[in-house]
Structure 1
Amino acid sequence: MEHERWREIGRLSPASVMLLTLLFIVLTQAGAIYLLLHQPWTGLQIEPDPVSGFVRVMSVDAGSPAEGKIPPDTILTHIQLAGEAMPLISKHFLFPFMHKSRAEFQGYLQQQATIHAFLSSGQPVTFRDIGGNDTVVLPHKATSIKTIPTYFWIFLLVFSIVPLMGAFVWSYQARLNVSLYFFIASIACYGFNFVGVINFAKEFFFSFEMAEWLFVLELIGLNIYMPFVFNIMSSYPHRLLGLVGYIVFSIVFVFYSLNFYFAWFGGSLNYLLIQSVLPLLLTLLASQFQIVKSRQNPVDRTAVRVMQLSMIAPFLPIIILHIIPVALGQEPIISKNFVQLLGITSFVGLAIGILRFRLFEVEYWWFKSWLWLLGGCVVVLVDMLLIGLLNTPQLYALGLSVMLTGFLYFPLRQWLLGKLMPLENQSLQDFLPRFSAALAQADSPQAFEKSWQAILQARFTPQHLALQTATLTQPTLADNGLSLRIPALTDGTVYQLSGKHLAARLFSNADIKVAAALLDIARMARNASDAREQAVLEERERLLHDLQATVGAKLRALADDLPAAHDRQATEEALQALDSTVKLSLQADPFSLHGHLHAWHSEIAQRTAAAGVQLDWQVNHDLEEAELSPKQALELTQFLREAVSNALKHAHPVCVTIRFALEADRLQMSIGNDGDIQPPESWQAGTGLGGMRARIRALHGDLQVRHLVQQGYVRLDATFPLRIGVVS
Structure 2
Amino acid sequence: MFSLKTRIAMGFLLVVAYGLMTIIVALSLPASEIHFRTDKDTIVATLEDGREISVTQFSNDRQRIPADPILLLEEPDVLPGYAAMNDFFRAHQFLESALTSGSLSLQDENGNAVAISSSSRSLVSLPGLFWLQLICGLSGMVVCLLVWVPARSDIAINSFALTGLSYVLFSSAAAIYSTRELFMPGQLFALLSGINHFGALLFSASLGAFLWNYPRQAPSIWFSGMFYLLFAVAIVVDQAQLVTTPAAGFHSWVMGIFLLGLAGAFWQAWKTRGHRQDRIALRWTVLSIVLGTVFFAGGMIVPAMLTMPTPASQGLLFTTFLLMYLGMAMGVVRHRLFNLEPWWFSLWSWLLGGLVIMLTDLLLATLLTLSGPATLALSVALIGWLYFPVRQYLWGKLIRNQRQGLDSWLSQALPAMLQEQQNAPEQSGIAAALQAVFSPLSLKRAEGPVANVSIEDNGNRLLVPDSKEPHHFELLHPHDGQRVFSRHDVETSKLVLALHTLVNQTRTAREEGASEERNRIRRDMHDDLGAKLLHLLHKSPADSKPLVREAIADLRDLLKAMEGHALSLDAAASQWREETSRRCRDHDVTLQWNENIIPATLHAMQFSETTRIIREAVSNALKHSETPLLSVTLHGDTDKLNIIIANSGLDPSATPGPQRGLNIMQSRASKIGGGFEFGIADQHWQVLLSVPVNR
Using the size of structure 1 for normalisation, the TM-score is 0.45
Structure having the higher Rg: 1
Using the size of structure 2 for normalisation, the TM-score is 0.47
